[in-house]
Amino acid sequence: MNRIDADLLHALGELDEALAVLDGDFLVALNAPMQALVPGDTGGLAADWAAPLHGLASALEAPLGARTRCGVSGEYTAQRVALDARHVLLRLTDERARLHHLQRQLDDREGLLFTSRSLTVSEMGSVLAHELNQPIGATANLLRGLKLRLARKHPDSTDELAALDKAVQQVTYASQIIGRVREYTQSRQPNTELLDLVALVHESLALLDWDLQREAVQLTLRLPAQPVPVQGDAVMLQQVLINLLRNALDALRLDRPGEPLIDIELQLDGGRAELRVADNGPGITPQTEARLFLPFSSTKPNGMGLGLSICRSLIEMHQGRLWFSRRDAGGCCFHFALPIAVAATQPTLEKTA
Ligand code: ADP
C-alpha cells in the first residue's frame, strides 16, 4: 500500500471535522471526530467500515466531489476529494450542527436588525422632533403676532381673528405632541455594561461577513491583542459600527475601486480608545462633508441621511466623540473615541500613520 505523508495524517488528527483517508477500497486513516461518528479499524475494507452508518457505503461509490446525504434521517453529508493519484479524503459533515450554527447566526442577525430598527425609529422620532420643533415654534409666534396686529388694526374682523385663534390652537397642539415625543426619546438612556470593544468589532464584522464577501472587500484589522474595556450599551455601539461599515460598503459598491478595502484600526491613547473605519471608496465632496452629520442629508438614491447623525448622538450618549477625516490615499475615514473603562491597566499602543 502506498504510504501517505505522515504530516498529512498528523494534520488530519488536528482538525475538528470528521475525516477519513481511503486508498482504493481500503480505509487507511481516520481522525478522532470521524472515529466518534463511525468507529472502526483502519486497514480493512472501507465498505465494511462504512456499513453501520446508513447510506455511507453507497456514498463511497458516488462521484468525487458529489455531496451525498447519509445517516438514518440524512443528518450527515459525505463528500470525497482526491488527495493524490491513489488516496481519497472523505469528509462527513453533521448537518444538524451546521444548521444549528446557521440558525444561531440568523437569529443573531435578526435580533440585531430588530433592535436596530426599533432604535432607528426612536432616534428618528428624536431627530424629527428636534427638527420640527423649531419651525412649529416659529409658526406659532408668527400667528400670535399676526393676530395681535389684526386685532389692533381691524378689531371688527371677528371671523379672521377666530380663524387665527384656531390656527394657533392647532400649532400649539402639534408642538405638544412633539414635546411628548422628545420627552419619550430623551428618557431612553443607554443600557450600560462593561464591554470589550475588540470583541464588539469582531461581532459586528461577523454580522456583515456575507456582505463583505459579496463585495470581495479586503479587510485589514489592526486591533490590540488584549481586550479594550468600555462602559456602554452593546446594541447601540454595535449599531454605530454596523452603520459605519455599511456606509463604507455602500461607497465601495456604488463607485468600485480596483481592489476595494476596508481598514479597521483600534488604538489606545491615554484614557481613550479610538476606533477608525476607513475605506478606499470615492470619498466625499466638500459640500457633502459640510452636511455629513446633519439629519436627512444623503447622496444615496434611497438614503435617509440619518445614519451618521444618529451614530454621533449614540456616541455622545457614551461621553465619546465621532468625526470624519479624509483617508490619505483616497476614501473616507470615520473615527470614534470612547473613554476606556479601566485606563490604568491598558498599555498605550504605538500610533501608525
Ligand atoms: P445615508 O447612508 O442614509 O445616506 P448617512 O447619514 O449614514 O445616511 O450618510 C450620509 C452621507 O454621507 C451618505 O449619503 C454619503 O454621501 C456620505 N457617506 C457616509 N459614509 C461614507 C463613505 N464611507 N464613503 C463615501 N460617502 C460616505
Greatest extent of the chain over all pairs of C-alpha atoms, in Å: 115
- Closest atom of ligand 1 relative to the 243 alpha carbon: 7
- Closest atom of ligand 1 relative to the 304 alpha carbon: 3
Per-residue pLDDT tens over the stretch 88-125: 999 999 888 777 777 777 777 766 666 665 666 677 77
Out of 246, 247, 289, mutate this one to test ligand 1's pocket (max ligand atoms within 8 Å of CB): namely 247
Ligand 1 and 123: CB distance under 6 A? no
Q: Which residue has the cell 419651525?
A: 135
Per-residue pLDDT tens over the stretch 23-64: 999 999 999 999 988 998 888 999 999 999 999 999 999 999
Ligand 1 and 263: CB distance under 6 A? no
Of residues 279 and 168, more confidence is placed in 279
Ligand 1 and 299: CB distance under 6 A? yes
Quote the pTM value.
0.60
Per-residue pLDDT tens over the stretch 129-152: 777 877 888 898 899 999 999 999
Domain count, the chain: 3
H/E stretch holding 273: strand 272-279
Tell me, yes or no, whether 222 and 342 share the same domain. yes
The contacts of residue 135 (CB under 8 Å, 6+ apart) are none
Beta strands, E only, the chain = 18-23, 26-30, 67-70, 76-82, 87-94, 193-196, 218-222, 229-232, 261-269, 272-279, 321-326, 332-339
What the block records as the C-alpha cell of 85 is 493519484
Domain boundary among 97, 113, 146: 97
Tell me, yes or no, whether 271 and 313 share the same domain. yes
Per-residue pLDDT tens over the stretch 285-300: 999 999 999 888 899 8
Q: Confirm whether 205 is domain-assigned.
A: yes
Ligand 1 and 298: CB distance under 6 A? yes
Host domain of residue 130? 101-186
Distances (CA, A) of 72 to 54, 75, 268, 270, 322: 6, 7, 54, 60, 55
Ligand 1 and 280: CB distance under 6 A? no
Tell me, yes or no, whether 200 and 239 share the same domain. yes
Ligand 1 and 304: CB distance under 6 A? yes
Tell me, yes or no, whether 164 and 216 share the same domain. no
| Number of neighbours of residue 340 by Cβ within 10 angstroms | 20
Q: Tell me the pLDDT band of 184, cut-offs 50, 70 and 90.
A: low
Domain boundary among 97, 120, 154: 97
Q: Confirm whether 1 is domain-assigned.
A: no
Tell me, yes or no, whether 58 and 146 share the same domain. no
